[in-house]
Amino acid sequence: METASVSLMWFRKGLRIHDNPALEYASKGSKFLYPIFVIDPHYMEPDPRASSPGSIRAGLNRIRFLLESLVDLDLSLKKLGSRLLVLKGEPSEVLIQRLKEWDIKKLCFEFDAEPYYQALDIKVKNYASAAGIEVFSAVSHTLFNPSDIIQKNGGKPPLSYQSFLKLAGEPTWASSTLSIASSLLPPVGDVRINEFSEVPTIKELGYGDYEQEESTPFKGGESEALKRLRESINNKEWVANFEKPKGDPSAYIKPATTVLSPYLKFGCLSSRYFYQCIQDVYKNVKKHTSPPVSLVEQLLWRDFYYTVAFGTPYFDQMKGNRICKQIPWNDDEELLATWREARTGFPWIDAIMVQLRKWGWVHHLARHCVACFLTRGDLFVHWEKGRDIFQRLLIDSDWAVNNGNWLWLSCSSFFYQYNRIYSPTSFGKKYDPNGNYIRNFLPVLKDMPKEYIYEPWTAPLSIQTQAKCIIGRDYPKPVVCHGSASKECKRRLAEAYALNRQMNGQVSEEDLRNLR
Ligand code: FAD
């Protein structure tokens, strides 16, 4: 149906021109096209669940990344004869008001599987259907439509990556050419121009105070995403040999992976386009790495989590979540604060937490180490607490992927080998024996000899004095003894697992008594 003459393109994620079926459909046959983005105060308000008072849902790095992405999108739209209209307020209210005011006949947006957007969409769709407005909501944020996979699996999401792969198969669009809007877009209709600001600055949004703390080297926007993608893809050998667990988590001058996650998160880069580019490289090389470690497989992991998250009620919490082990995590705010504020006394863990706060991005294995340390490895703090902090600080913070990985790392779901714990002292050393990563992110330890950099509390006082870093004064003592803390964590996990089995009728009272 293409009779509509006035369309509205509602950008949420999908902040791009390439492979944007909703934008393409919105422009077809339209006399006027209103491209809008609504700045949602929800993300800028203090998070009631956050563990540090006044903590805002989205950190400065992510908001800055978003604003840069909007500026870039506006520029691209202007090149195509249009522009981005930026509004502020509760998105469904703002949108419904504009649908009425501009007499919109066609509303287009990208499908979003997150519960927050699903709830918004219901409100907007209800209004549109009562008002006779055509709605087009395209699935283009992921490689697959999560509903299709769940349907193929008899209504339930697949709970292992292998079963997900079997169900998914080859994406249907994979061999077709993805659209890239290159011809002019319909003009924007009449707007009272002073009602719309340009993209606001970070200061105008009230974020000025955090400026010193967080300053990511990664710039937002589709142009930057495509440039970054080309840099990775042009190195065919690197793409062909990509093997996830072998990457160096301590490499920060040139990270070991693509750092495309923030661009995928905001949809500055289409995951489908990324997928096609990798497949093109594979066609042109003699051999390449295979599942589950290859580069293309990383994108499939993303879709796996999207699918499970979409089909699992209460996916982002332990209680009521049928795929999550019930574990009596502690709520120790002081232990949590040492982790969040990079003062656990374990330099490898603290350096990662500093990089996370400063950059909003850390390598996958670094995320593994700190998530394991906080939960089942050492501190036994609830994974939801760590998830909240990641959610605020990551520029790639993604509801499905973040929750899915926290469930994995805390051995609450997907992965259950709780005896395998990352050592906070020896793991990083394998990659970076001299401790350059630590010296960079924790300059207080920059003169510590390499023999002690991962365990500075073991350095004799004379060495600490020489290194101008007295442990307990300039840098904290370890918050726990890793040996005994990890042992205790394993014991509590074993007990919790047995209780879970008992709840499912698989273990007797006597088994439980033996465990204690
Ligand atoms: P590459 O290795 O270059 O991979 C390419 C793309 O594949 C990534 O950009 C990402 O979209 C996807 N991908 C890679 N690894 C994974 C994975 N394990 N699960 C799902 N998708 C993956 N990733 C996020 O995008 N957002 C998050 O909020 C997030 N939270 C995480 C929390 C924890 C505790 C852990 C352990 C991992 C988390 N990850 C998250 C997954 C992963 O660490 C990042 O996607 C990856 O490090 C991003 O770097 P990259 O773009 O260089 O990845």
The structure tokens 């700190």 sit at 370
Residue 381 sits in the same domain as residue 441: yes
Q: Which of 165, 302, 382, 403 to mutate to test the pocket of ligand 1 (most atoms within 8 A of CB)?
A: 302
pLDDT digits (tens, 9 = 90+) for 240-281: 999 987 899 999 999 999 999 999 999 999 999 999 999 999
Q: Which residues of the chain have pLDDT under 50?
A: 1-2, 516
Give which of 13, 12, 9 is closest to 25, Cα–Cα.
9
Residue 409 sits in the same domain as residue 367: yes
On whether 259 is known to bind a ligand per the annotation, the reply is yes
Residue 306 sits in the same domain as residue 337: no
Domain-embedded: residue 208: no
Rounded CA-CA distance 154/147 in Å is 11
CA-proximal residue: ligand 1, atom 43 (nearest):
364
CATH number of the structural domain spanning residue 460: 1.10.579.10
Q: What 3-state class would DSSP assign to 363?
A: coil
Domain-embedded: residue 447: yes
Rounded CA-CA distance 62/50 in Å is 17
On whether 299 is known to bind a ligand per the annotation, the reply is yes
Q: Where are the alpha helices (DSSP H) in 91-218?
A: 91-101, 115-130, 146-152, 161-168
On whether 379 is known to bind a ligand per the annotation, the reply is no
Distance of CA 314 from the midpoint of ligand 1 (Å): 21
Domain-embedded: residue 237: yes
pLDDT given for residue 54 in this prediction = 63
Q: Is 265 in the pocket of ligand 1 (CB under 6 A)?
A: yes
CB 364 within 8 A of CB 257: yes
Sign of CA dihedral 229, 235, 238, 240: positive
Angle between helices 364-372 and 383-393 (to 10 degrees): 140
On whether 102 is known to bind a ligand per the annotation, the reply is no
Give the chain's largest Cα–Cα span: 81
On whether 396 is known to bind a ligand per the annotation, the reply is yes
The whole domain housing 231 covers 224-311
Tell me the whole-structure pTM to 2 decimals: 0.95
Q: Is 145 in the pocket of ligand 1 (CB under 6 A)?
A: no
DSSP codes of every residue in 191-227: --GGGSBSSPPTTTTT-GGGTTT---SPPPSHHHHHH
Residue 345 sits in the same domain as residue 492: yes
Residue 350 sits in the same domain as residue 228: no
Number of structural domains the chain divides into: 3
Residue 379 sits in the same domain as residue 437: yes
Closest ligand 1 atom, residue 386 Cα: 34
On whether 257 is known to bind a ligand per the annotation, the reply is yes
Residue 263 sits in the same domain as residue 377: no
Contacts of 90 (CB under 8 A, 6+ apart): 40, 41, 42
CATH number of the structural domain spanning residue 48: 3.40.50.620
Q: Is 376 in the pocket of ligand 1 (CB under 6 A)?
A: no
Contacts of 291 (CB under 8 A, 6+ apart): 165, 297, 300
Rounded CA-CA distance 291/268 in Å is 26
Residue 239 sits in the same domain as residue 280: yes
CA angle 156, 158, 163 (to 5 degrees): 140
Residue 262 sits in the same domain as residue 370: no
Residue 29 sits in the same domain as residue 67: yes
Q: Is 367 in the pocket of ligand 1 (CB under 6 A)?
A: yes
Distances from the Cα of 430 to the Cα of 417, 443, 452, angstroms: 22, 21, 14
Rounded CA-CA distance 364/256 in Å is 10
pLDDT given for residue 193 in this prediction = 63
pLDDT given for residue 207 in this prediction = 75
pLDDT given for residue 2 in this prediction = 47
Closest ligand 1 atom, residue 298 Cα: 7
Domain-embedded: residue 507: no
Closest ligand 1 atom, residue 367 Cα: 36
Angle between helices 347-359 and 333-340 (to 10 degrees): 70
Q: Is 269 in the pocket of ligand 1 (CB under 6 A)?
A: no
Rounded CA-CA distance 134/120 in Å is 17
Distance of CA 50 from the midpoint of ligand 1 (Å): 23
Burial of 258 (0-12, 13-18, 19+ CB in 10 A): buried
Q: Is 368 in the pocket of ligand 1 (CB under 6 A)?
A: yes
If residue 109 lies in a helix (H) or strand (E), which one and from where to where? strand 106-110
CATH number of the structural domain spanning residue 249: 1.25.40.80
